[in-house]
Amino acid sequence: MTTVIGTEDLLRALAPRVLGAVVRRYGHFADAEDAVQEALLTATTTWPTAGEPDNPLGWLIRVASRRMVDHYRRDDARRRREDLAASWSVTRADPDTVPEADHDDTLILMFLCCHPALSPATAIPLTLRAVGGLSTREIAGAFLMPEATMAQRISRAKATIKESDEPFSLPTPDQRASRLRSVLHVLYLLFNEGYISNSGPDLARTDLSGEAIGLARSVRVALPDDPEVAGLLALMVLNDARRPARTAADGELVPLAEQDRSLWDRSLIIEGVTLVTAALQLGPAGEYVVQAAVAALHDQARCYVDTDWSEILSLYGRLERMTGNPMVTLNRSVALAMVDGPRAGLALLEEVAEQMGHHHRFQAVRAHLLEMAGATASAMDGFRAAAAGATNLREQQYLTKKAARLAAELP
Amino acid sequence: MRFILLQNYGEVGSGCGPMPEWSPEDISAHIRFQQVLNEELTESGELVDAQGLSGPERAQFVVSDGVTAPVITDGPYPESKELLAGYRLVDVGSADRALEIAARASAAPGPDGVPLEQPIEVREVLSAPDPEV
Question: Is B36 at the interface with chain A, CB within 8 A?
Answer: no
Question: What pLDDT shows up at residue A170?
Answer: 87
> Could you tell me if B67 and A408 are in contact, meaning their C-beta atoms sit under 8 angstroms apart?
no
Q: How far apart are CA A317 and CA B102, in angstroms?
A: 52
Q: How far apart are CA A373 and CA A272, in angstroms?
A: 34
> For B28-61, how does the pLDDT look when each residue is reduced to its tens digit (9 = 90+)?
999 889 989 998 998 899 999 898 888 888 889 9
Give the gap in angstroms from C-alpha B110 to the nearest C-alpha of chain A.
Answer: 14
CB pair distance less than 8 Å for A401 and B27: yes
Contacts of B10 (CB under 8 A, 6+ apart): B81, B82, B119
pLDDT of A202 over the 90 cut: no
CB pair distance less than 8 Å for A389 and B57: yes
User: Which of the residues B16, B23, B47, B83 would you substitute to probe the A interface, choosing the one with the greatest number of A C-beta atoms within 10 Å?
Assistant: B23
pLDDT of B78 over the 80 cut: no
Question: Is B42 at the interface with chain A, CB within 8 A?
Answer: no
Q: How far apart are CA B111 and CA A247, in angstroms?
A: 24
Could you give all domains of chain B from N- to C-terminal order, each with its CATH number?
Answer: 2-124 (3.30.70.1060)
Q: B76: cis peptide before it, omega within 30°? A: yes
Residues of B in contact with A382 (CB under 8 A): none
- Closest Cβ–Cβ partner in A201, A252, A400 for B20: A400
Question: What pLDDT shows up at residue B58?
Answer: 85
CB pair distance less than 8 Å for B57 and A250: no
> For A244-288, how does the pLDDT look when each residue is reduced to its tens digit (9 = 90+)?
898 887 777 899 999 999 999 999 999 999 999 999 999 889 999
Question: What pLDDT shows up at residue A230?
Answer: 97
Confidence grade of residue A361 (pLDDT, cut at 50, 70, 90): very high
Question: What pLDDT shows up at residue A256?
Answer: 94
Domain boundaries, chain A: 1-93, 338-411
Confidence grade of residue A78 (pLDDT, cut at 50, 70, 90): low
Instruction: Kindly list the distances between the CA atom of residue A364 and the CA atoms of A361, A387, A394, B86, in Å, as whole numbers in the listed order.
Output: 5, 8, 14, 23
Give the gap in angstroms from C-alpha A363 to the nearest C-alpha of chain B.
Answer: 14
pLDDT higher at A165 or A400: A400
> Could you tell me if B82 and B44 are in contact, meaning their C-beta atoms sit under 8 angstroms apart?
no
Question: What pLDDT shows up at residue A200?
Answer: 46
Question: Is A300 at the interface with chain B, CB within 8 A?
Answer: no
Question: What pLDDT shows up at residue B122?
Answer: 97
> Could you tell me if A289 and A276 are in contact, meaning their C-beta atoms sit under 8 angstroms apart?
yes
Question: What pLDDT shows up at residue A91?
Answer: 42
pLDDT of A98 over the 80 cut: no
Range name among A6-10, A113-117, A176-180, B85-89 with the lowest pLDDT average: A6-10
Q: For the residues A299-327, what does the mean pLDDT come to? A: 95
Question: What pLDDT shows up at residue A195?
Answer: 75
Report the DSSP beta bridge partners of residue B7.
B86
User: Of B14, B32, B20, whose CA–CA distance to B110 is shortest?
Assistant: B14
How much is the pTM? 0.83
Instruction: State the average pLDDT for chain A.
Output: 87
Question: What pLDDT shows up at residue A90?
Answer: 39
- Closest Cβ–Cβ partner in A389, A391, A404 for B20: A404
Q: At what angle do helices A120-130 and A102-113 cross, to 10 degrees?
A: 150
pLDDT higher at A89 or B66: B66
Q: How far apart are CA A286 and CA A275, in angstroms?
A: 14
Report the DSSP beta bridge partners of residue B52.
B86
Question: What pLDDT shows up at residue A198?
Answer: 44
Residues of B in contact with A408 (CB under 8 A): 23-24
Residues of A in contact with B22 (CB under 8 A): 404
Confidence grade of residue A154 (pLDDT, cut at 50, 70, 90): very high
